Amino acid sequence: MNQTTKNKEAQVTNKYKSEDAVQRKENLLSKLKKILERSKKKIFKD
């Protein structure tokens, strides 16, 4: 395997890694939003 192939593979891997990180961040944010909405409802009920 030559150097350019290695570099291309590294770029693809990095792209997937960063997309994965973004996906995880979005999942966490949506979970946090749901928790916040639930706690708001509880606060207003009391």
Go through the chain and tell me how many residues it has: 46
Domain that holds residue 3: 1-46
> Given this model, what pLDDT does residue 22 score?
93
CA angle 16–4–1, rounded 5-degree value: 95
Phi, psi of 41 (to 5 degrees): -60, -45
What does the pLDDT read at residue 2? 84
- pLDDT tens profile 8-36: 998 988 888 899 999 999 999 999 999 99
Pick the closest to residue 20 from 8, 28, 30 (CA basis). 28
Phi, psi of 2 (to 5 degrees): -85, 175
Q: How many domains does the chain have?
A: 1
Q: CA 26, CA 20: separation in Å to the nearest integer?
A: 10
Higher pLDDT, 1 or 18: 18
pTM of the model: 0.56
